[in-house]
A and B are shown apart, each in its own frame.
Chain A
């Protein structure tokens, strides 16, 4: 037995969602997530580059439908105690956010190949980075006004608006009693004395529009409050295992 030192603990409590629907007031109760059907309408008016933001609830296996190019799949997680990498995080399972984007002319928010098409054909379901076929998908479809020059700022705007939308759900998830969680996972950052020391290096995008990543947002897997790897000069940033698995990286590729 080698000697181990525990550096810090992260507890992720999962609340499983079995049903998602629109209602008058956002809420999470008994495995049911209700989205306020009016709240996101204001999102569309927040930025003048946006023509419309539509939120669709995609039921499990209801994937025979056209979607614009997929910008991201995002878990819905929130800090309840402590900062990213330690303390307590609440997360939803059974439901993930899918962000898509295009302009009114159908020009896709993508640079190096795009994934618009029938959802069933455009996603390899059940991977680490994608929902399973049995999950609900909250589809945040952003339509930009016609004729805009696609640039980094536009991409950041879309991610910010989507994050604002998710924050409403996070605020409800934050207030859930952790004792009612469906699953609880404990993770430790540790020193394993005398064992081979290994560093993982992840080379991520940092070239510009659609090639960006946000580090250390305020909320797990969020956007707001984070720092872009581009703005950090693409120089290496060391992240602890627990920070990493607590959503320290928001992909914007």
Chain B
């Protein structure tokens, strides 16, 4: 499992990324940057890159992290681990992922209590329709609102 046609983010999506727009436009937020990390095949590598990005968040003295993923299934192994690594550093973290009815997390942990599901299909599945199950403006605003709550609770 990995990235299907309806969840993949096209080059055009990255160019007009709604999550970036929402976070960078919020005057109460100091957006320090976007960390892009890959999804390796090998489990050892998955844990390595996840640990590195969490260390980046700590090094940047981030007050909070929003993490999104455009794949599911096997990609959720990386995703869950990275969220755990960030959470264990006491940095509030909110996630965005396709879940629906088809992509329940294969692994999870206590830091995954605020995940915004950006499934848009009625059946909750990978519909193979390009652009259907992608992050939009509302998903992004929800994620940022959750993060603000979590950051203020700290």
Using a CB–CB cutoff of 8 Å, the interface residues on chain A facing chain B are 2, 69-70, 72-75, 77, 96, 110-115, 121-125, 127-131, 191-193, 195-208, 211, 213, 215, 220-221, 229-230, 232-241, 244-245, 247-251, 253
Contact = CB atoms under 8 A, between A and B. Distances in A.
Contacts of A74: 10-12
Interface residues of B, number: 73
B147 interface: yes
Contacts, number: 274
Given A198-B23, A207-B41, A238 B35 contact: yes
A201 B66 contact: yes
Contacts of B100: none
A205 B13 contact: no
Nearest to B143: A200
Contacts of A232: 38
A130 B63 contact: no
Interface of B: 1-6, 8-20, 23-24, 27-41, 45, 48-49, 52-53, 56-57, 60-71, 75, 78-79, 82, 86, 120, 126, 128-132, 134-136, 147-148, 151
B134 to A, nearest CB: 6
Given A129-B134, A251-B10, A199 B15 contact: no
B12, B52, B82, B128: which has the most chain A beta carbons within 10 Å? Answer: B12
A199 B35 contact: yes
